[in-house]
Amino acid sequence: MAIEQFELYGETAIRVQNEELAFTLVPAWGSNLLSLRLKNKDLELLRFPENQELYKADPILYGLPILFPPNRIADGRFAFNGRDYQFDINDAAEHNHTHGLLFDAPWKILRAEAEGERIVLETIIYSDEHEAILNRFPHSFSVQMSYILERTTLTIKATISSQDAAPFPWGLGYHTTFNYPFDRSGDMAKCRFSLNADKQWVLDERFLPTGELVDIPYLDELREGKSLVEHALDDAFQTAGTGANEAVLTDLNSGIRVVYSADEQFKHWVVYNHDARQGYLCPEPYTWITNAPNLQLPQKLTGFRVLQPGEQVTTTTRIRIEEVI
The predicted-structure confidence for 99-156, as pLDDT tens digits, reads as follows 999 999 999 999 999 999 999 999 999 999 999 999 999 999 999 999 999 999 999 9
Residues 261, 217 contacting (CB under 8 angstroms): no
At 300 the pLDDT is 96
Question: Residues 268-272: what's their mean pLDDT?
Answer: 98
| Among 122, 150, 246, 284, the one annotated catalytic | 284
Question: How far from 173 is each of 5, 13, 119, 120, 309, CA to CA, in Å?
Answer: 27, 22, 23, 21, 22
100: nearest Cα among 134, 67, 73, 139: 67
At 184 the pLDDT is 79
Backbone angles phi, psi at 110, to 5 degrees: -90, -50
At 145 the pLDDT is 98
At 185 the pLDDT is 79
At 213 the pLDDT is 98
Backbone angles phi, psi at 38, to 5 degrees: -85, 110
Q: What percent of the chain has pLDDT over 70?
A: 100
At 24 the pLDDT is 98
Question: How far from 114 is each of 97, 117, 118, 145, 306, CA to CA, in Å?
Answer: 39, 7, 6, 16, 34
pLDDT digits (tens, 9 = 90+) for 271-290: 999 999 999 999 999 999 99
The answer on pLDDT for 186 being more than 80 is: no
- Checking DSSP bridges between strand 118-126 and strand 108-115, what pairing results, if any? antiparallel
The answer on pLDDT for 304 being more than 80 is: yes
pLDDT digits (tens, 9 = 90+) for 92-113: 999 999 999 999 999 999 999 9
Say which DSSP state 17 is in.
E
Active-site residue 129, yes or no?
no
At 53 the pLDDT is 97
At 325 the pLDDT is 75
pLDDT band at 299 (very low <50, low <70, confident <90, very high): very high
How would you class 218 by CB atoms within 10 Å of its CB: exposed for 0-12, middle for 13-18, buried for 19 or more? exposed
| Among 139, 175, 246, 268, the one annotated catalytic | 175
At 240 the pLDDT is 97
**For the chain, what is the mean pLDDT?**
97
SS3 238: strand
pLDDT band at 1 (very low <50, low <70, confident <90, very high): confident
Active-site residue 175, yes or no?
yes
At 68 the pLDDT is 98
At 106 the pLDDT is 98
CA–CA separation, 321 and 317 (whole Å): 14
